[in-house]
Amino acid sequence: MTVMTRPDAPHIPVLLERVVSLLREAPDGVVVDATLGAGGHAVAILEARAGAGRLTHLVGIDRDPDALALARERLERTSSPTRIDLAQVRFDAFGDVLDGLGIDRIAGVLFDLGISSLHVDRPERGFSYRHEGPLDMRMDPTGGRSAADLVNHADVAELRRVIREYGEERFADRIARAIVAARPLRSTTALAEVVRDAVPAAARRTGGHPATRTFQALRIAVNDELEAFSGALPAAIDRLLPGGVAVVLSYHSLEDRIAKRAFVEAARGCICPPDLPVCACGRVPVVDVLTKRPERPGPDEVASNPRARAARLRAARRKELS
């Protein structure tokens, strides 16, 4: 089946056909789009499930009020007969959202991590080193610590830790010291220039922009992304109905590692010592992992949507009751 995006879509959903194929046949019930964005995945999922005769109640979650408003408009135009509930919260609060709606189990869940064109293409949001803008980087621009707060107030040790841990940047120490020496920094381009100059000239001649990893690290730290995802995915797996499906789209190794670990852990059976004659732990696998290794976009998708290049998809299905 070929899934078409709407011509007015401001953001091209990544690996759309594969995501839809995984969630189309999930059981009747609630599907959670935990990172709703502009609603591109959600609209396609609802329409495909309606075509497959699946009854669906969509719960859409996003921290960005602008994204929620746009998604609401798009979802209201869908021809799929469904109940739709949207919530402006961070995705690790989805359990509270479901409890508030009286929902215990879900048929499917999608986590599309990272940032979208709604963020990158709007300089005032401060996510991109390519455009002049304030150092913000908050998914929810209405509150919380901004990138400017972190850049201008954290000490060298904290900046070095953030850049090394979340950006996997080998020049983290040099960059952290250069940032502190250049403070105050107020704009994305000013920060990008400082980072570029801190990276040795030989290293600047290969790879992408020298500031890419530092901007990634600051965004992750500002939004507590990895911590939120580490708790949210296991909680979502616990909520799945038999036959329910969890799908994760990640864009760097740190996110992908968390997804892999969560699915492997949920698929593990007995962990008793091998010399124990009878299982004492009572542990049984709760999911079948559907992706032996992360799936990547093909060359045609990358050519039409370069931002899909880094995407990695993993998925698991809740085991049927025995």
- 17-47 tens-digit pLDDT: 999 999 998 999 999 999 999 899 999 999 9
Segment 279-308, tens digit of pLDDT: 888 788 999 999 999 999 999 999 998 888
168 and 259 fall within a common domain: no
The answer to whether 10 and 235 are in contact (CB under 8 A) is no
145 and 216 fall within a common domain: yes
239: in domain: yes
206 and 252 fall within a common domain: no
1: in domain: no
pLDDT at 242 over 90: yes
197 and 236 fall within a common domain: no
pLDDT at 146 over 90: yes
5: in domain: no
Q: Which of 71-75, 161-165, 168-172, 239-243 has the lowest mean pLDDT?
A: 71-75
Of 176, 199, 223, which residue constitutes the final position of a domain? 223
176 and 314 fall within a common domain: no
Helices (H), 137-270: 147-153, 156-167, 172-182, 188-198, 201-204, 212-223, 225-239, 253-267
Indicate the average pLDDT of the chain: 90
Q: Furthest-apart CA pair in the chain: how many Å?
A: 66
pLDDT band at residue 143 under the 50/70/90 scheme? confident
- Please tell me what DSSP assigns to residue 319: P
Single pTM value for the model: 0.89
Give residue 33's domain range.
Answer: 16-112+225-318
As a whole number of angstroms, the distance between CA 238 and CA 231 comes to: 11
Segment 87-142, tens digit of pLDDT: 999 999 999 999 999 999 999 999 999 776 676 768 778 788 888 999 999 988 88
- Kindly report the CATH number assigned to the domain that includes residue 291: 3.40.50.150
Phi, psi of 86 (to 5 degrees): -115, 145
* pLDDT at residue number 1: 37
pLDDT band at residue 3 under the 50/70/90 scheme? very low
243: in domain: yes
